């Protein structure tokens, strides 16, 4: 140590700083206590930079050496960082590479306990955030698994009902997609849109309880037979009610209400207007649209123009006028659904 270094050393000790000279690989003056906690060899005036002691400072020293070799002017700052001692305590530091009178110096400053506490809090918050993100991923995976099981159960129920009916699998898919598209256009939340996509295909589930002689009769039904057929709404609601699954609860509302009319002339309860659940009013529109546009063994497909005229004629009578207007606004989307999910071997309306 030179005589000119003595004032510098005294200042360092007073300010709780450490100064390392790259050429000699030694500290100027005595190491402060916090530095010996991080690197015990500092008590002898030397420092070792490796993965066990001062790894972040060692990485910055590599940058500082390039800075010194380039002969750059000014100083190079590390920015705040934290080194951990053998007891696991973190020390907030900042280093500055300097070149003074041809000497390559590294000034190491402890930022203080307040800063260390702030850094520790930030680190804890970050770790908590990572844990929260992982928990959210786990919940999302489990929710998706549960939704998949619900969907499988629903479609097995629908397949069982279709074994006794003339409806096609494509019709069932289209009803779900039409209903979801219309609900989305109405501003429903995404989760509820998904519920109606899953619930609406169950609208005719009650047909499993209708005798074959009526359900499969090719001709016009008598008044008594029609009364029995209309009972599929209540039968379906009875099968689906009291579920803890939101989509199944919605399906019960749809099963009970998709044949109710806006003006109160529908069945089974003669509900009118807003007393009919909105999900049922949606399915009432898309079910008629799809059924008329597609051929069945007992009828041909009607031209779409005729189907749309039929819907318009029943605006504010059978169908909710507001929902019907939105349906017509979304007609291009409805047509795309029909095109993407056609009945196999069946004609559709043009």
Pairing mode of beta strands 76-77, 81-84: unpaired
Reference 305, options 343, 323, 331, 286; nearest CA is: 331
DSSP-derived secondary structure letter, 79: -
173 and 304 share one domain: yes
Pairing mode of beta strands 81-84, 103-110: unpaired
Predicted pLDDT at 73: 74
Neighbours of 205 (CB within 10 A): 25
Cβ 34 vs Cβ 61: under 8 Å = no
Among 89, 111, 133, the domain boundary falls at 111
H and E: helices and strands count for the chain: 14, 6
Helices (H), 16-107: 33-38, 55-69
Check which CATH number belongs to the domain holding 45 and give it: 3.30.450.20
168 and 308 share one domain: yes
Asked whether residue 159 is domain-assigned, the answer is yes
Q: Binning pLDDT at 50, 70 and 90, where does residue 3 land? A: very low
pLDDT at 6 over 80: no
Q: pTM of the full predicted structure?
A: 0.59
**pLDDT tens for residues 121-173?**
666 776 777 767 776 776 677 667 666 766 766 666 666 666 555 566 788 88
16 and 94 share one domain: yes
Asked whether residue 290 is domain-assigned, the answer is yes
150 and 250 share one domain: yes
Question: Could you give phi then psi for residue 270, rounded to 5 degrees?
Answer: 70, 30
68 and 157 share one domain: no
SS (H, E, C) 229-252: HHCHHHHHHHHHCCCCCHHHHHHH
Question: Could you give phi then psi for residue 177, rounded to 5 degrees?
Answer: -70, -40
Structural domain for 179, as ranges: 145-340
Asked whether residue 347 is domain-assigned, the answer is no
152 and 236 share one domain: yes
Check which CATH number belongs to the domain holding 173 and give it: 1.10.3210.10
Among 111, 129, 159, the domain boundary falls at 111
Predicted pLDDT at 347: 47
Cβ 27 vs Cβ 46: under 8 Å = yes
Axis crossing angle, helix 113-162 with helix 190-199, rounded to the nearest 10: 20
Domain count, the chain: 2
Cβ 340 vs Cβ 332: under 8 Å = no
Asked whether residue 183 is domain-assigned, the answer is yes
Predicted pLDDT at 314: 96
197 and 292 share one domain: yes
DSSP-derived secondary structure letter, 54: S
49 and 190 share one domain: no
200 and 321 share one domain: yes
190 and 285 share one domain: yes
Asked whether residue 134 is domain-assigned, the answer is no
187 and 303 share one domain: yes
Catalytic residue among 44, 207, 217, 299: 207
Mean pLDDT of 241-249: 84
Predicted pLDDT at 215: 84
The Cα–Cα gap between 297 and 216 comes to 10
155 and 106 share one domain: no
Among 86, 111, 136, the domain boundary falls at 111
- What average pLDDT is seen over the chain? 83
Asked whether residue 345 is domain-assigned, the answer is no
Asked whether residue 123 is domain-assigned, the answer is no
Asked whether residue 138 is domain-assigned, the answer is no
Percent of the chain with pLDDT over 70: 79
Active site residue 207: yes
Cβ 80 vs Cβ 115: under 8 Å = yes
């Amino acid at each position: 140590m030179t005589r000119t270094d003595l004032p510098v050393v005294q200042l360092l000790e007073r300010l709780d700083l450490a100064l390392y000279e790259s050429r000699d690989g030694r500290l100027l003056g005595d190491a402060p206590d916090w530095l010996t906690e991080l690197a015990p060899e500092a008590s002898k005036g030397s420092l070792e930079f490796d993965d066990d002691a001062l790894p972040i400072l060692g990485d910055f020293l590599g940058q500082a050496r390039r800075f010194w070799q380039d002969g750059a002017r000014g100083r190079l700052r590390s920015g705040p960082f934290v080194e951990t001692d053998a007891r696991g305590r973190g020390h907030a530091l900042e280093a500055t590479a300097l070149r003074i009178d041809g000497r390559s110096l590294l000034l190491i400053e402890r930022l203080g306990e307040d800063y260390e506490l702030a850094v520790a809090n930030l680190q804890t918050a970050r770790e908590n955030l990572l844990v929260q993100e992982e928990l959210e991923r786990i919940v999302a995976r489990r929710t998706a698994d549960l939704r998949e099981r619900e969907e499988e159960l629903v479609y097995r129920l629908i397949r069982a009902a279709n074994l006794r009916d003339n409806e096609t699998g494509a019709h069932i898919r289209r009803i779900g997609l039409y209903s979801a598209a219309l609900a989305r256009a109405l501003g429903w939340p995404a989760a509820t849109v998904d519920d109606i996509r899953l619930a609406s295909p169950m609208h005719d589930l009650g047909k499993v309880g209708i005798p074959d002689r009526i359900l499969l009769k090719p001709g016009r039904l008598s008044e008594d037979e029609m009364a029995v057929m209309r009972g599929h709404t209540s039968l379906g609601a009875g099968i689906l009610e009291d579920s803890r699954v939101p989509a199944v609860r919605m399906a019960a509302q749809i099963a009970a209400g998709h044949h109710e009319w806006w003006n109160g002339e529908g069945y089974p309860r003669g509900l009118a207007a807003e007393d009919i659940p909105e999900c049922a009013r949606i399915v009432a529109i898309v079910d008629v649209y799809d059924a008329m546009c597609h051929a069945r063994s007992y009828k041909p497909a009607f031209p779409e123009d005729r189907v749309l005229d039929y819907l318009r004629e029943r605006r504010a009578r059978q169908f909710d006028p507001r929902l019907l207007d939105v349906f017509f606004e979304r007609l291009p989307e409805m047509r795309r659904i029909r095109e993407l999910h056609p009945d196999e071997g069946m004609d559709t309306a043009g």
